[in-house]
Amino acid sequence: MSDCIFCKIAQKEIPSNIVYEDDTTIAFRDVEPQAPTHVLVIPKKHVKSVMELSDKELAAHILTEVIPKIAKDEGIAEKGFRVVANVGEDGGQTVPHLHFHILGGRSMQWPPG
Protein backbone atom coordinates (compact mmCIF):
# COMPACT_ATOMS: atom_id res chain seq x y z
CA MET A 1 0.00 0.00 0.00
CA SER A 2 1.53 3.27 -1.14
CA ASP A 3 0.57 5.33 1.92
CA CYS A 4 1.43 2.71 4.55
CA ILE A 5 4.36 3.71 6.76
CA PHE A 6 5.33 0.10 7.52
CA CYS A 7 5.23 -0.82 3.81
CA LYS A 8 7.64 2.08 3.27
CA ILE A 9 9.90 0.76 6.05
CA ALA A 10 9.78 -2.73 4.50
CA GLN A 11 10.74 -1.28 1.11
CA LYS A 12 13.49 0.89 2.71
CA GLU A 13 11.79 4.04 1.47
CA ILE A 14 12.01 5.45 4.97
CA PRO A 15 14.77 4.60 7.42
CA SER A 16 14.44 2.30 10.40
CA ASN A 17 16.72 0.51 12.80
CA ILE A 18 16.49 -3.00 11.34
CA VAL A 19 17.39 -5.95 13.58
CA TYR A 20 16.23 -8.81 11.32
CA GLU A 21 15.27 -9.32 7.68
CA ASP A 22 14.49 -12.17 5.31
CA ASP A 23 12.46 -12.54 2.10
CA THR A 24 9.06 -12.20 3.79
CA THR A 25 9.63 -10.51 7.13
CA ILE A 26 11.42 -7.53 8.60
CA ALA A 27 11.92 -6.41 12.20
CA PHE A 28 13.00 -3.01 13.44
CA ARG A 29 13.21 -1.07 16.69
CA ASP A 30 10.16 0.90 17.78
CA VAL A 31 10.75 4.68 17.63
CA GLU A 32 9.01 5.10 20.98
CA PRO A 33 10.31 2.13 22.98
CA GLN A 34 8.14 1.02 25.90
CA ALA A 35 10.79 -1.33 27.28
CA PRO A 36 14.59 -1.70 27.04
CA THR A 37 13.97 -4.03 24.10
CA HIS A 38 11.07 -3.02 21.85
CA VAL A 39 11.13 -4.52 18.38
CA LEU A 40 8.34 -4.61 15.78
CA VAL A 41 8.09 -7.66 13.52
CA ILE A 42 6.11 -7.21 10.30
CA PRO A 43 5.38 -9.11 7.12
CA LYS A 44 6.85 -7.30 4.13
CA LYS A 45 3.59 -7.67 2.22
CA HIS A 46 0.71 -5.54 3.38
CA VAL A 47 -1.52 -7.37 5.87
CA LYS A 48 -3.80 -5.12 7.90
CA SER A 49 -3.94 -7.06 11.15
CA VAL A 50 -4.16 -10.53 12.68
CA MET A 51 -7.71 -10.62 11.30
CA GLU A 52 -6.36 -10.64 7.74
CA LEU A 53 -3.41 -12.97 8.36
CA SER A 54 -4.49 -15.83 6.11
CA ASP A 55 -0.99 -16.91 5.06
CA LYS A 56 -0.40 -19.77 7.51
CA GLU A 57 3.16 -20.34 6.38
CA LEU A 58 3.99 -16.70 7.04
CA ALA A 59 2.22 -16.75 10.40
CA ALA A 60 4.13 -19.85 11.46
CA HIS A 61 7.41 -18.40 10.21
CA ILE A 62 6.97 -15.22 12.25
CA LEU A 63 5.78 -16.96 15.42
CA THR A 64 7.97 -20.07 15.45
CA GLU A 65 11.16 -18.80 13.83
CA VAL A 66 11.52 -15.02 13.64
CA ILE A 67 10.25 -13.99 17.08
CA PRO A 68 12.21 -16.69 18.97
CA LYS A 69 15.37 -15.81 17.03
CA ILE A 70 15.05 -12.10 17.82
CA ALA A 71 14.35 -12.85 21.49
CA LYS A 72 17.53 -14.94 21.66
CA ASP A 73 19.58 -12.36 19.75
CA GLU A 74 18.32 -9.57 22.02
CA GLY A 75 19.16 -11.59 25.13
CA ILE A 76 15.60 -11.62 26.50
CA ALA A 77 14.61 -15.23 25.79
CA GLU A 78 15.76 -16.64 29.12
CA LYS A 79 14.06 -14.17 31.49
CA GLY A 80 11.00 -13.82 29.29
CA PHE A 81 9.34 -11.17 27.23
CA ARG A 82 5.96 -10.17 25.83
CA VAL A 83 4.57 -10.49 22.30
CA VAL A 84 1.67 -8.15 21.51
CA ALA A 85 -0.38 -7.67 18.37
CA ASN A 86 -2.87 -4.85 18.79
CA VAL A 87 -5.91 -5.22 16.52
CA GLY A 88 -8.25 -2.42 15.52
CA GLU A 89 -9.57 0.52 17.46
CA ASP A 90 -10.31 -1.11 20.81
CA GLY A 91 -7.08 -3.09 20.55
CA GLY A 92 -5.13 0.15 20.29
CA GLN A 93 -3.73 -0.48 16.82
CA THR A 94 -2.41 2.82 15.47
CA VAL A 95 -0.60 1.53 12.35
CA PRO A 96 -2.85 -0.56 10.08
CA HIS A 97 -0.10 -2.95 8.95
CA LEU A 98 0.21 -6.12 11.03
CA HIS A 99 3.01 -5.91 13.58
CA PHE A 100 4.04 -7.98 16.53
CA HIS A 101 5.60 -5.99 19.36
CA ILE A 102 8.42 -7.82 21.16
CA LEU A 103 8.87 -6.17 24.56
CA GLY A 104 11.52 -7.24 27.01
CA GLY A 105 14.29 -6.27 29.35
CA ARG A 106 11.99 -5.37 32.23
CA SER A 107 9.25 -7.02 34.25
CA MET A 108 5.84 -6.62 32.58
CA GLN A 109 2.58 -5.78 34.36
CA TRP A 110 -0.84 -7.35 33.89
CA PRO A 111 -3.53 -6.39 33.00
CA PRO A 112 -2.44 -4.03 30.22
CA GLY A 113 -4.06 -0.61 30.12
User: 46, 61, 99, 101: which is the annotated catalytic residue?
Assistant: 99
Question: How many residues are given for the chain?
Answer: 113
CB-side exposure of 64: number of CA atoms within 13 Å? Answer: 6
92 counts as binding ligand AMP under rule CB under 6 A: yes
- Least Å distance between CB 42 and ligand AMP? 10
**Measured distance between the N- and C-terminal CA atoms of the chain, rounded to whole angstroms:** 30
Cis ω for the linkage preceding 96 (within 30 of 0): no
Cα–Cα distance, 41 to 110 (Å, whole number): 22
Judged by CB under 6 A, the residue of 86, 98, 102, 104 near ligand AMP is 86
Kindly write out the interface string for residues 25-44 of this chain, putting x where it contacts ligand AMP by CB under 6 A and - elsewhere.
---x-xxx-------x----
Active site residue 38: no
Residues that bind ligand AMP (CB under 6 A): 5, 16, 28, 30-32, 40, 86, 92-95
